[in-house]
């Protein structure tokens, strides 16, 4: 029996991983077009694409690609029949077996189909994260404040913004996590860090 090794490619360069990765996603009103790298042989490559409609909380039928179809279509995948101005969660997984070793790479993206009339809103245009020492007009040398806020009325349905904050100073270090829910406008946390200099 041949032993097989399974390896996740998180933290491994694509040149060593022998699996395809997303290079770009074109966002149109009714479709996404995924462009990927072409790493490793096509014979044992498998592509799995899942899409979740976040408005309806519904998983669309998955796309499974392998074999002869990838000889022609590898590197460019179109997901049609989507609704304009709607948020989708995309999961792209590529798996390839090279020299008895199975390499798997998974990427998750938050995407919104474009409007038929106007430009696209990128996910990072929905929120703002600020680090400051001033709260309610009083500046503190020993406290640091981190504020997360939505920048407009546009929100991902049932969405959350997760922020991980790491602060390193000469004498201290701390890690905090904050979650901003779709029904909140902003949230501020206080971090006591001594005499840190921003």
- CATH number assigned to the domain comprising residue 68: 2.60.40.10
Instruction: Quickly state the pLDDT bin for 5 (edges 50, 70, 90).
Output: very low
- 56 lies in the same domain as 9: yes
- 84 lies in the same domain as 142: no
Let me know if residue 198 belongs to a domain: no
Average pLDDT over residues 11-29: 75
- 102 lies in the same domain as 129: no
Which of 77, 112, 147 finishes a domain? 112
Pick the range with the lowest mean pLDDT from 47-51, 114-118, 190-194.
190-194
Let me know if residue 152 belongs to a domain: yes
Average pLDDT over residues 133-149: 77
Kindly report, residue by residue over 55-101, the tens digit of the pLDDT: 999 999 999 999 988 988 999 999 999 999 999 999 999 999 988 88
Task: Show the domain range for 185.
Answer: 123-192
- 99 lies in the same domain as 156: no
pTM above 0.85, yes or no: no
User: What confidence score (pLDDT) does residue 135 get?
Assistant: 75
Let me know if residue 118 belongs to a domain: no
Let me know if residue 38 belongs to a domain: yes
Domains: count for the chain: 2
User: What confidence score (pLDDT) does residue 118 get?
Assistant: 61
- 168 lies in the same domain as 102: no
- 187 lies in the same domain as 130: yes
Let me know if residue 22 belongs to a domain: yes
Do residues 78 and 31 make contact, with C-beta atoms less than 8 angstroms apart?
yes
User: What confidence score (pLDDT) does residue 147 get?
Assistant: 86
Let me know if residue 117 belongs to a domain: no
Q: Kindly tell me the burial class for residue 117, based on how many C-beta atoms sit within 10 Å of its own C-beta (0-12, 13-18, 19 or more).
A: exposed
User: What confidence score (pLDDT) does residue 127 get?
Assistant: 82
Average pLDDT, the chain: 82
Let me know if residue 53 belongs to a domain: yes
- 17 lies in the same domain as 82: yes
Which of 112, 138, 169 finishes a domain? 112
- 99 lies in the same domain as 134: no
- 13 lies in the same domain as 63: yes
């Amino acid at each position: 029996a041949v032993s097989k090794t399974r390896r996740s490619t998180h933290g491994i360069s694509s040149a060593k991983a022998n699996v395809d990765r997303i290079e770009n996603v074109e966002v149109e009103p009714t479709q996404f077009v995924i462009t990927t790298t072409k790493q490793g042989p096509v014979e044992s490559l498998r592509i799995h694409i899942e899409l979740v409609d976040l408005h309806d909380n519904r998983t669309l039928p998955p796309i499974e690609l392998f074999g002869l179809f990838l000889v022609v279509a590898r590197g460019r995948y179109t997901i049609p029949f989507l609704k304009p101005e709607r948020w989708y969660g995309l999961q792209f997984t590529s798996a390839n077996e090279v020299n008895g070793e199975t390499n798997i790479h998974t990427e998750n993206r938050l995407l919104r189909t474009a409007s038929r009339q106007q430009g696209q809103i990128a996910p990072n245009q929905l929120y703002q994260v600020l680090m400051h020492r001033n709260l309610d007009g009083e500046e503190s040398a020993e406290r640091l404040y981190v504020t997360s806020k939505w920048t407009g009325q546009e929100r991902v349905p049932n969405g959350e913004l997760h922020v991980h904050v790491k602060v390193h100073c000469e004498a201290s270090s701390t890690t905090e996590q904050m979650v901003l829910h779709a029904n909140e406008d902003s949230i501020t946390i206080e971090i006591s860090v001594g005499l840190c200099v921003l």
